[in-house]
Structure 1
Amino acid sequence: MTFEALDVSLDENCFSDFIKRYHFNEEDKNEIIKLYRKVHPRVHAIFHHIVEEDENGGKVATVVASLGRAFDEYQNVLVRQQDIHGAYIVDCLGLELLSKAYDQIDVKIHEMTGLYAGGYIYAGSKEFPLEEIPAVMKKLGQKKIRYNEAYMLLPKKSVLFTTKLYDKKQESHSKCAECNAVNCSMRVEKYKASHVDNEAETKASPKEKGLIHLYTGEGKGKTTAAIGLSVRAAGAGKKVIFSQFMKGRDTSELNSFEILPNITVIRKEEDMGWFKKDDEESIALFTKAHNEILDKITDKVRTGKCDVLVLDEVTYPWNFGIIDKARLQDLIANKPENMEIVLTGRNADDFFVEHADYITRMEKVKHPFDAGIQGRLGIEF
């Protein structure tokens, strides 16, 4: 038993048709494209099929296909954020990618059998009752796509169907497992209704008091720990601002942050080189850059749309005196009650220590740099 990979994607030129098909407004286009760019790199589309003879001696294919867990995970994040509209967009993007998958499945079945797929009979239809799913899934003999007690396939962007195979190519057939109408105007209302309880539950959940973390010490892992906490928080639907001081060159975590929802990066775009503590020009350059970063952070925090604020390497501008300390103190000491703050950097000042609720001191016991091994892409940066 093997799964076949499917390469499904949407051409950005087709989004106008997508908007019409799913009854969006033209002003939704930028958000649709943005959400597509975030979720698509995580899509893992696959299908598996078997071919059997029917009672009349003809051939019938039974197919199970999935886009993977990306849509489930991303939709859950958006629902927790009470962004039902965004979650619905992602749902529709999944349906559209499934339609692309169907096209490829038809082609691959023809390549493997020399026959052409006819109309799809989906699990849950009159001809394919839900109660038959366990027996059919057992016959397929795969474990990547499952079903729950309600016979819902998991991951949710998965389908199970049968299709009769023909010697000649058939006319275009319906490709919507929902209701045989891809542009069903009821789908958005059904989606919103199915998530209203989840939304109400999210609104009713009291927010916890935010705490302050400090990762300091001579050992490796301070920024790495902050990155890990940020990813975990984003996965829980929290809005994260990940700010970096003293850094300008690209580091690998930035590539990961680009495809993760809920993480906003604030840092200097250009590489300023090494800081020279005895050079007035360098002092002025870094001070200006760090205060500009602080301005952006403060503006973001004031909007109330920050659950976790990371101040990566913040101890360095503090210790070198190349940041407005009074404003930084105010940001930390008078933070919004529910906002979490993560501080990183060596030689943490007493101010950071006194305000931290968590303090982790990284101790260097052994480091490959001492043996002449330089920092490695994807490991140190």
Structure 2
Amino acid sequence: GLDTTPLRYLIEGRRVLVTGAGGSLGGELSRQVSALRPESLVLLDRYENGLYAVANDVGAEGAENVHAVIGDVTDENRLDAIFSEYRPHIVFHAAAHKHVPLMEGNPCEAVKNNVRGTRLVAQASERWGVDRFILISTDKAVNPVNIMGATKRAAELLVQALTPVSDTSFFTVRFGNVLGSNGSVVLRFMEQIEAGGPVTVTHPEIERYFMSIREAVHLVLHAAAAGQTGDTYILDMGEQLRLLDVARDLIRLSGFVPEREIPITFIGLRPGDKLSEELVCPDEESMPWSVEKIIRVCSATRRSWQDVMSTVQALEKAAVQGNTNGIYSGLVELIPEFHPISVRAPVGNVVRAILSLLPSIKLSRRPHHACPGKANLKVCATS
């Protein structure tokens, strides 16, 4: 495993804030941070159910000074009250809208949460003397073709522009598909297999990068511990996997024959879908880093804070007014490589890779003990 010494040095005795703590990634990040003995850990989310569950998990693991706080990252006054009360040294900004087709239909909300929310948390961090701010981003921000990716790229540009004018260190970490996260494709495939099929794949050639949730959190923590302000960090995830191959292998691992016992149906690309993802933007250069399996990405050009802010303010205004055209034109102005698509197109050995990425999930056709509510397929997480 990765050396945790720099992580303990980063976290131990420090005050840490995690936004979006009730989500799958924010929750796992909170659990791992709590094990590194922070002085205090503030879990911020606007949804009470997820936050309640994570707070109970973290509290049950013996963490002291864990504070579960309800609040919205788009509420500036609430953020100021939280930062004033808890004075965090380190902020992990995981709160975001992430589902591509949903955001295609709700661009105003995507801008409010992903752009305005990031700006407000970043500026609060600067105002209240935060040492390190870590933005959780996505490979969909690279050469974006959908609203979710474009708003996350806008968030990246925001924190990069803040770097030269701030005493706070700003970092970005870029993820592929996180296995086990809420709404992840592998979990959806498992649910469909359990129900007897069909397993739905958008396109025969669609492919994605995958990482486990544990790998994702290691990436975040190591970037925060040793990263250089203004830079972006990505995990070396190997080759992209074809989702059709993933579906077939999961069916086999479940004890069934693909297409014969469990059918696979192609449903067409959803609005905003790309056939494959990229990890590095056109103006970026990637290089190996001191931490194994993590790649450092540097931007050759950096927009000024004033330039970025003028466009972002126009974007936020358009979002409040419900002006979808204004949102698209603002995003294209800020991100010249943004080429929006909204498509419903007709569509005419990875077993080891999947197994290595799913160390905590067991699949069997006839389980020794059934999970509550599960019929033929056991999908149980093990610690």
Structure 1 and Structure 2 fold alike (TM over 0.5): no
Return the TM-score normalized by structure 1: 0.28
Higher CA-based Rg: 1
Return the TM-score normalized by structure 2: 0.28
